């Protein structure tokens, strides 16, 4: 069913002269999924980060993990851009990795029990 829908979208895009748009969108979605998987494997959840924020030693360990995962995610974003030979997937992956980093950083600044 999904393949049929993709074929219809490709035919419509081809009629307009823009098959590339569908491929760019698909590669951008794949790059976003890969970045979220890397982030999820390397970092605790948002609530766990907020729980650990009240303990300075645990917060430092989580912050170190956030920094290393940001470096790995940005490197992966660059590789994704080179792999697809397109700027869009790499930019989507890089932007998402920066957004996830700041979301984790925000979790460490607002421990559970404090108002946001």
Closest of 9, 31, 32 to residue 20, by C-alpha: 9
Residue 47 maps to a domain:
yes
Q: Rounded CA gap, 102 and 116, in Å?
A: 15
pLDDT given at position 83: 84
- Encoding tokens for residue 33? 């999924």
pLDDT given at position 28: 86
Angle at 37 between CA 88 and CA 74, to 5 degrees: 45
Residue 12 maps to a domain:
no
Residue 17 maps to a domain:
no
pLDDT given at position 82: 87
Looking at the structure of the chain, the number of domains it has is 1
Where in the sequence is the domain holding 100, given as residue range(s)?
25-109
Residue 46 maps to a domain:
yes
pLDDT (tens, 9 = 90+) of the chain, 116 residues, equals 667 766 776 676 666 655 576 677 888 888 899 999 999 999 999 999 999 888 889 999 999 999 999 999 999 999 988 888 888 888 999 999 999 999 999 999 988 876 55
Task: Tell me how far CA of residue 74 lies from CA of 63, 67, 105, 106, in angstroms.
Answer: 16, 11, 16, 19
- Encoding tokens for residue 75? 């490197």
Looking up tokens 């990795």 gives 97
Residue 3 maps to a domain:
no
* Residue 60 CB neighbour total at 10 angstroms: 12
Residue 57 maps to a domain:
yes
pLDDT given at position 17: 59
Residue 20 maps to a domain:
no
pLDDT given at position 114: 60
Residue 13 maps to a domain:
no
Looking up tokens 């080179």 gives 82
């Amino acid at each position: 069913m999904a393949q049929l829908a993709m074929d219809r979208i490709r035919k419509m895009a081809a009629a307009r002269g823009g098959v590339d748009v569908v491929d760019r969108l698909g590669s951008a979605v794949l790059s976003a999924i890969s970045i979220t998987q890397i982030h999820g494997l390397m970092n605790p959840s948002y609530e766990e980060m907020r729980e650990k924020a009240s303990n300075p030693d645990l917060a430092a360990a989580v912050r170190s993990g956030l920094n290393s995962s940001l470096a790995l995610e940005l490197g992966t974003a660059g590789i994704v851009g080179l792999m697809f030979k397109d700027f869009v997937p790499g930019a989507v992956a890089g932007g998402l990795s920066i957004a996830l980093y700041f979301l984790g950083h925000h979790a460490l600044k607002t421990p559970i029990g404090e108002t946001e």
